[in-house]
Chain A
Amino acid sequence: MVRVLSCWVVVLLLLAVELLLSAAGVNWGIGVCAGVMALLVAYGFMRMTRAPALALIFAIGGLFWLSILLALGSLDSFTRTNFPVGDTLSSTTQNPRPPPDTAP
């Protein structure tokens, strides 16, 4: 009971810290707070450490596939560079530019 109540108090305190960090615009701090709160819920309320070994394997497996999903899914938008598409794909094919002036 003490463990559950102390987890609850800490999680509520972290919620207050999150709100303060939001007012200060510290986005990375909000993310850290949310992660710690999630861990406390898993530890204090879901009794993660007392779960059978197979349950831990399932939980870790879920987190592993989540990381694959987020990493591969966001890879394109985080690494995309806007290359010029070239004449074959550009609208200039339909409206060709006049050839540049060249010296005789």
Chain B
Amino acid sequence: MSEHLAPYDSPQHRDETAIAGMWLFLASEILLFGGLFLIFVVYSHTRAAGWALGVRHTSLTIGGINTALLLTSSMVYTLGVEAARNENARGTILAGLGAAGLGVTFLCLKGWEWHTELDEHLFPGPGFALGGLQAGGAQLFYSFYFLSTALHGLHMLVGIGLIAWVCLRVYRGRGASLRVLPVEVVGLYWSFVDLVWVLLFPVLYLIGRV
């Protein structure tokens, strides 16, 4: 066994351990976001009318565009992983920059959406815009909305930072053999952030809208 591989038996063993470690982290993330989905399951059932009132006030246009952007970003980064496997450093960097750019566009649109909602007094608390009998349920919905989108946005920021780090690493190491593992592990994280949004989008924008 080579000394630099310790404690692994082979490079394949080392790589598989790193990928399994990332999946273990993602399993803990499933439980983190699972708590949020529990809020949805309970309150969309017990406060159905107020919850639906909140859903009807979200911007479906921005939500739909953002979903398409994030799916495209994940696809572009996956192509970057394929390029890394083919020792194509330029392709990897271009795909990484494209994916990060789409992620930044997502965050800008989300920021604009938040700005509009705050202007419309849709943040829960005193002065909440939606009155009437269902105001309580609508405030619960908007608490869930701001918490879940903030948590997801935080994950996006981390992901964009990781992609930038991967691009820098590949750029600095060009000419030498390209290490696929960091590109692949960051890709798992980025696609997971996409997967979470795929499940959040219908909860925040679609279910109960009509």
A residues touching B (Cβ–Cβ < 8 Å)?
A: 1, 4-5, 7-8, 11-12, 15, 18-19, 21-25, 27, 30-31, 33-34, 37-38, 41-42, 44-46, 51-52, 54-56, 58-59, 61-63, 65-66, 69-70, 73-74, 77-78
Contacts and interface: CB of A to CB of B under 8 A. Distances in A.
B209 to A, nearest CB: 5
Given A24-B210, A25-B210, A45 B74 contact: yes
A73 B41 contact: yes
Interface stretch (B18-26, B106-114, B130-138, B140-148): B18-26
A22 B75 contact: no
Q: Which 10 A-B pairs have the closest CB atoms?
A: A62-B27, A25-B210, A55-B23, A62-B30, A8-B75, A22-B206, A54-B20, A52-B16, A45-B191, A58-B23
**What range describes how many residues of B lie at the interface?**
35 or more
A24 B210 CA distance: 7
Contacts of B201: 18, 34
B198 A52 contact: no
Contacts of B195: 38, 41-42, 46
Contacts of B199: 34, 38
Interface of B: 16-17, 19-20, 22-24, 26-28, 30-31, 34-35, 37-38, 41-42, 45-46, 60, 64, 67-68, 71-72, 74-75, 77-79, 82, 187-188, 191-192, 194-195, 198-199, 201-202, 205-210
